[in-house]
């Protein structure tokens, strides 16, 4: 009987042992949360870069179907076109000088690039989606109110820095957390998230800027 009681007592844990286990679990949980947050940021950045590449391809398909864009060699100008969250073509620069084909700037054909891509999510930065707690929480008005992406085309031989496209003559940049961001806000009223300023990414460093380069 005594032997059984001693054996039963040995099966228990002391208070110190329980506290040590709790501390270890807490440390592991803290480390895991940090890694998860970093993984989530990296995943959103990767998704944003994929969106930029998709828009590039969409514009390429538009050109192959209709007409190519062109700039004089060495020109200091750059073609710029913003896209709204609903996939519609937005503002153009330079504007009113005939640089963009008339068909491309025709307001009745705002959906042409979107129609070729057939993916509305490609026009929404994952950080914007996070700000709204999911695309399903965005209204049509919300999607038409922000412009996450801007497409660029630089002339061959230009002296421009081309940081927006990672040094390429053509490309798309993120206007929320990319190198062309200017501290915009996204999200529902009262829960908005402030974007980047073109220098730092969501982590507070330049390592996770949505620059279009992985």
pLDDT tier at 167 (50, 70, 90 boundaries)?
Answer: confident
- In the DSSP assignment, the letter for residue 86 is T
Q: What are phi and psi of 114, to 5 degrees?
A: -60, -40
Instruction: Record the tokens describing residue 95, joined without a space.
Output: 């504007």
Percent over 70 (pLDDT), the chain: 87
Residue spans of the domains in the chain: they are 43-194
pLDDT of the residue at 191: 85
Could you report the per-residue pLDDT of 81-100, keeping only the tens digit for each? Answer: 999 999 999 888 875 445 78
Q: How far apart are CA 96 and CA 100, in angstroms?
A: 9
Answer for the pair 133, 127: CB distance below 8 angstroms, yes or no. no
Instruction: Record the tokens describing residue 182, joined without a space.
Output: 């200017």
Closest to 152 (Cα-Cα) out of 48, 81, 58, 99 = 81
Q: Can you give the pTM of this predicted structure? A: 0.81
Could you report the per-residue pLDDT of 9-38, keeping only the tens digit for each? Answer: 556 667 777 777 787 777 766 665 556 577
């Amino acid at each position: 009987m005594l032997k059984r009681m001693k054996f039963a007592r040995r099966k228990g844990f002391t208070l110190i042992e329980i506290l040590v286990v709790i501390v270890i679990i807490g440390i592991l949980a803290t480390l895991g949360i940090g890694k998860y947050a970093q993984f989530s940021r990296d995943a959103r950045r990767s998704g944003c870069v994929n969106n930029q590449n998709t828009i590039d391809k969409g514009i390429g398909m538009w050109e192959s179907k209709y007409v190519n864009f062109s700039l004089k060699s060495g020109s200091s100008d750059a073609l710029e076109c913003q896209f709204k969250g609903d996939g519609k073509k937005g503002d153009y620069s330079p504007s009113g000088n005939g640089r963009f084909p008339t068909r491309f700037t025709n307001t009745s054909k705002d959906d042409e690039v979107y129609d070729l891509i057939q993916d509305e999510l490609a026009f929404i930065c994952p950080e914007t989606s996070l700000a709204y707690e999911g695309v399903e929480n965005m209204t049509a008005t919300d999607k038409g109110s922000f412009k996450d992406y801007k497409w660029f085309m630089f002339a061959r031989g230009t002296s421009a820095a081309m940081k927006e496209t990672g040094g390429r003559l053509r490309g798309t940049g993120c206007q929320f957390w990319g190198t062309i961001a200017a501290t915009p806000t996204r999200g529902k009223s009262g829960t908005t998230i402030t974007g980047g300023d073109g220098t730092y990414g969501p982590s507070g460093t330049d390592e996770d800027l949505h620059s279009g380069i992985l």
